[in-house]
Structure 1
Amino acid sequence: MQAYHNLNQQFIAGEWQIGNSTHHIDNINPYQQTQIFKFQCANSDDVDTAYTAASLTFRQGVLNSTVTRVKIIENLAQIIQKRREEIVQWLINESGSTRMKANIEVDAALGIIQYSAQFPDWFKQERLSSQDPSRQSYVLRKPLGVIAVISPWNFPFHLSMRSVVTAIACGNTVVLKPASDTPVTGGTLLAKLFEEAGAPSGVLNVVVGSGREIGDYFVEHPTPKLISFTGSTEVGQGVGSKALASSRIKRLALELGGNAPLVILDDADLDLAVELTVMGRFMHQGQICMSTNRVIVDEKLHDAYVEKLLEAVAKIPVGDPNLADTVIGPIINQSQVSKHQAIIQHAQNLGAELVYEGGIHGNVVAPHVFTHVDPYFEIAQQESFGPILPIIKATNEQHALDLANNTEFGLSSAVCSQNIQRAQMFAEKIDAGMTHINGITVADHANAPFGGEKNSGLGRFNGRWIFEEFTRTHWLTIPQ
């Protein structure tokens, strides 16, 4: 089996082609900081062509057959399993994923793919009781049409696949715009996989380009019926406003930023609390929307917890993402490294105490742990998206709950306690889309609703929730 090639080209209407923009993207290995290749960008003409191809394919009804859609999905799963190491290596080289994280990401994508194989069978006509005795009443589920997907660089393969395969399983066609830092693992690699799986021309189109050149045009274009965006809250708010203000109002599925708290109550198992912290904060360098962005610990356990945590943090393997035991690899790019340096310095300027400083070497930022953090410090209020951990002391359980909800975000959260009933009552009061008791804040199941409250987004991914997002309801009445 030959490795894929020509991954630095656009995939539009079933053809691999060079983008028509005069600009290019430098595809960089984050750890080695070397160029993988140059990528000629797409321009607005390429976007038009991609949307036209997706629209024509949808109108032709090539995905109307349940058998066709299921076969594509089954083929896709088999191909990914065969090409697993190739995909893992691309994630390591392009996104800076550690080997452990890359394998987790492939497994997550496979879970979504396998679950979505059920969707084609869910398009069943439902009969309603009719208030008019002369008429029959039915509800139909139908595909939306063309779905536009904008994916991020942190989990590029999984978070692109999550929307793309679901959309196609529901009978839609797709135009995908991956992040500029991960054009392959978030974009053209998926195009190769679907092409090999036998997806007809125009079902999936991938345009790689600068957000400054085609970002607004991609969202405001009249063709897509829904914009699926995963990324920062700031950019997501812009996407939402443009989608609603365009000539044709579009549906939105937005999975945005987080500020996940891990709450450690006064009866918590400290060893477990430390384990949850290390994996919840430092997996993939903290570059996960669900990552534990702050720890809230009861004052009775605070000092003992910090002592145990620092011992564990000092043992975390940091460095080459290709090594099997590495937990913390490189940050995606130098711009993000500079952002982390500014966050660390600002927290110190405000009076937070840096109790563990792991250092910064190239794009590798080792753990940085802060205590004496005021809950209104920026480090506690904003998502750092890096291996930086603020620890906040709570005076009691109610104070811990107030601190957990003291944020504009509401994606994931966790609570640690030896009393499960107490923890569940606490968890139900957290204003977030997801809460895990004695588990890490980073969790994603293919059959469970994934999404947040407040500034963490709109709608839910996965399971029947994403099926409802990516299809539409049509009421039909028929004479008796």
Structure 2
Amino acid sequence: MGLLDDEDIWRGRIFTGEWTSTGTTTQATEPATGNVLGEIGTATAEVLSGCAERAADAGRRWAATAFQDRVAVLRSAAALFEKHRDEITTWLTREAGKASPAAKLDFDLALTELQEATALPSQPWGTLLPTTQPGRISMARRIPYGVVAVIAPWNFPLILALRSVAPALATGNAVILKPASETAICCGVVIARLFQEAGLPPGVLHMLPGKGSELGNAVAEDPNIDMISFTGSTPVGRTLSEAAGRHFKKMVSELGGNNAFVVLDDADVEAAAAAGAYGSFAHQGQVCMAIGRHLVAESIGATYANAIAKIADGLTVGDPRGDVDLGPIINQSQLDHITDIVGRSVDAGARIVTGGTADGLYLRPTVLAEVTPDMPAFTEEIFGPVAVITTVRDDDEAVRLANGTPYGLVAGVHSGSVEHARAIGDRLRAGMIHINDQTVNDETPAPFGGLGDSGGSSRFGALTNLDEFTVWQWVTVRDAQSHPSF
């Protein structure tokens, strides 16, 4: 039996260690068809408050659990996750609108997060410190924060939830997961069922779907929640960070981006266009790392635009359950956002080379050329399958325009010379730089995160998880017969 086959377990319910009805529900729909996929329970701020209190209590017991027992739960979760690959990717395809390549990528990245998290409980958790006090032992040790609230988005729901849920649990924290309402089944229900079947003690994980800002505000205000992990838009992240800051809560975040892809005059145009097309069109461009701006040397600008347009014309768009390259935009609101930016930019003088048409939620991949830095397509995050091309006179202009944004998530550079590309990469302001590669890259060991309006200084990934999900505590121990004197 699959994780979700018995809908009587989870239909219309939230997860609090057991499946509980709150009396309020919402429907999960399929973007490709508009069909209802299932009914999910929703939570209020009052429900969250009770869950946070129970999570704080359960979390203390979980933190005191022997490390090998925590490892066993995580290993079981990883094994179950892999066992149910086909079922889970089917839900990603149907609820998140992911064509097969995007669903596979989301699943594979999430699986590696689970697998890597199994190593965290057995890491060294402290160090012996020198001390000036005779008869005293001084040490520093890591302790879990307590209750970590994980707020996950709809675009890559599994990886963007599990990259926080898995290390938070591994390091002894309790977790309250708020999945996006658009993907509450393939993110929230899947993860809750996964850890329930893996033997996680009741109350350590809560899964609370909810619409609007009510739960986000409650997370920031609740005294039992000690840390927030948020992935989403910059405006929402800023509001949440300000609220969390008033209560001195730790917050890790990955926010929006308007990522630059610099194509230098000595680049292989066909190779650069192939990379650029993937970076702009993968999962319908609904990726925080998507290429927002193609900054292309004037001498190859027209050739590059035609090359990427040829690739766009060859991509199939349709029901993601079939053999297609791209699926639907997640909802009408997002489609309206994309077409509004493209329309305003065309009105300002940009030219559609190809695409720009939609059939329902199915938007053809679009190439927009002759874009200037004052146009909406250049300055705003599109979050859709649109390649925005701006030509530059020289390397200095490319660097200036690439850095001319409050965002700083990721950037890519393409050149026929690695040395040339690295020299430009060294001048770009972003948390991640990819040389002779596109921007949509994610690997579990890497420190993933941005600068500025893309999320500040926090990082996700195996290299930094122990630092992000634990806090240092200083401990001293004196012999019972020893005491200080004046």
Cα pair 2:62 2:204 within 8 Å, conserved: no
Cα deviation, residue 128, structure 1: 2.3
- Residue in 2 aligned with 1:31? 32
Cα deviation, residue 370, structure 1: 1.1
Cα pair 1:347 1:378 within 8 Å, conserved: yes
Cα pair 2:2 2:87 within 8 Å, conserved: no
1:367 is the counterpart of 2:368: no
- After TM superposition, the structure 1 = structure 2 runs for residues 292-307 of structure 1, keeping only pairs within 5 Å, are 292-307=291-306
Return closer, same or farther for 1:95/1:15 CA change in 2, 3 Å cut-off.
Answer: same
Counterparts of 2:243 and 2:342, CA distance in 1: 34
Give the gaps of 5 or more residues in structure 2: 480-486
Return closer, same or farther for 1:477/1:377 CA change in 2, 3 Å cut-off.
Answer: same
Counterparts of 2:173 and 2:461, CA distance in 1: 16
Cα deviation, residue 27, structure 1: 1.2
- Residue in 1 aligned with 2:392? 394
Counterparts of 1:163 and 1:429, CA distance in 2: 31
Per the alignment, in what secondary structure is the counterpart of residue 312 of structure 1?
helix
- Residue in 1 aligned with 2:221? 220
Counterparts of 2:3 and 2:464, CA distance in 1: 35
Cα deviation, 1:3-33, whole Å, max 9, x if unaligned, reads 5224434444311012244xx3231100111
Cα deviation, 1:365-424, whole Å, max 9, x if unaligned, reads 111211111112221111100011210101011111111101110001100012112211
Q: Which amino acid aligns with 1:365?
A: L
Q: Which amino acid aligns with 1:385?
A: F
Counterparts of 1:169 and 1:123, CA distance in 2: 13
Counterparts of 1:122 and 1:211, CA distance in 2: 39
Counterparts of 2:307 and 2:149, CA distance in 1: 46
Return closer, same or farther for 1:148/1:26 CA change in 2, 3 Å cut-off.
Answer: same
Counterparts of 1:307 and 1:210, CA distance in 2: 42
Counterparts of 1:213 and 1:473, CA distance in 2: 32
Q: Which amino acid aligns with 2:424?
A: F
Per the alignment, in what secondary structure is the counterpart of residue 414 of structure 1?
strand
Cα pair 2:14 2:43 within 8 Å, conserved: no
Return closer, same or farther for 1:142/1:123 CA change in 2, 3 Å cut-off.
Answer: farther
Cα deviation, 1:107-162, whole Å, max 9, x if unaligned, reads 00011111111110124320123344554331111111100010000001111111
Q: Percent identity?
A: 35
Give the gaps of 5 or more residues in structure 1: none
Per the alignment, in what secondary structure is the counterpart of residue 432 of structure 2?
coil
- Residue in 2 aligned with 1:439? 437
- Residue in 2 aligned with 1:311? 310
1:18 is the counterpart of 2:17: no
- After TM superposition, the structure 1 = structure 2 runs for residues 88-167 of structure 1, keeping only pairs within 5 Å, are 88-132=89-133, 135-167=136-168
Per the alignment, in what secondary structure is the counterpart of residue 136 of structure 1?
strand
Counterparts of 1:271 and 1:449, CA distance in 2: 30
Q: Which amino acid aligns with 2:274?
A: E
Cα deviation, 1:273-322, whole Å, max 9, x if unaligned, reads 01101111100000000001110001111111112121111101111211
Q: Which amino acid aligns with 2:418?
A: I
- Residue in 1 aligned with 2:484? none
Counterparts of 1:378 and 1:85, CA distance in 2: 40
358-367 or 222-231, which deviates more: 358-367
- Residue in 1 aligned with 2:383? 385
Return closer, same or farther for 1:68/1:10 CA change in 2, 3 Å cut-off.
Answer: farther
Q: Which amino acid aligns with 1:465?
A: T
- Residue in 2 aligned with 1:403? 401
Cα pair 1:412 1:432 within 8 Å, conserved: yes
Q: Which amino acid aligns with 2:293?
A: R
Counterparts of 1:78 and 1:102, CA distance in 2: 19
Per the alignment, in what secondary structure is the counterpart of residue 463 of structure 1?
coil
- Residue in 2 aligned with 1:478? 477
Counterparts of 1:428 and 1:76, CA distance in 2: 40
Per the alignment, in what secondary structure is the counterpart of residue 194 of structure 2?
helix
The count of aligned residue pairs is 475
Q: Which amino acid aligns with 1:103?
A: K
Counterparts of 1:9 and 1:197, CA distance in 2: 22
Cα pair 1:62 1:200 within 8 Å, conserved: no
Cα deviation, 1:223-253, whole Å, max 9, x if unaligned, reads 11101000000111111111112xx321110
Q: Which amino acid aligns with 2:427?
A: K
Q: Which amino acid aligns with 1:27?
A: A
Return closer, same or farther for 1:428/1:132 CA change in 2, 3 Å cut-off.
Answer: farther
Per the alignment, in what secondary structure is the counterpart of residue 143 of structure 2?
strand
Counterparts of 1:144 and 1:212, CA distance in 2: 24
Cα pair 2:40 2:185 within 8 Å, conserved: no
Cα pair 2:75 2:118 within 8 Å, conserved: yes
Cα deviation, residue 448, structure 1: 0.6
Return closer, same or farther for 1:210/1:176 CA change in 2, 3 Å cut-off.
Answer: same
Cα deviation, residue 62, structure 1: 5.8
1:332 is the counterpart of 2:330: yes
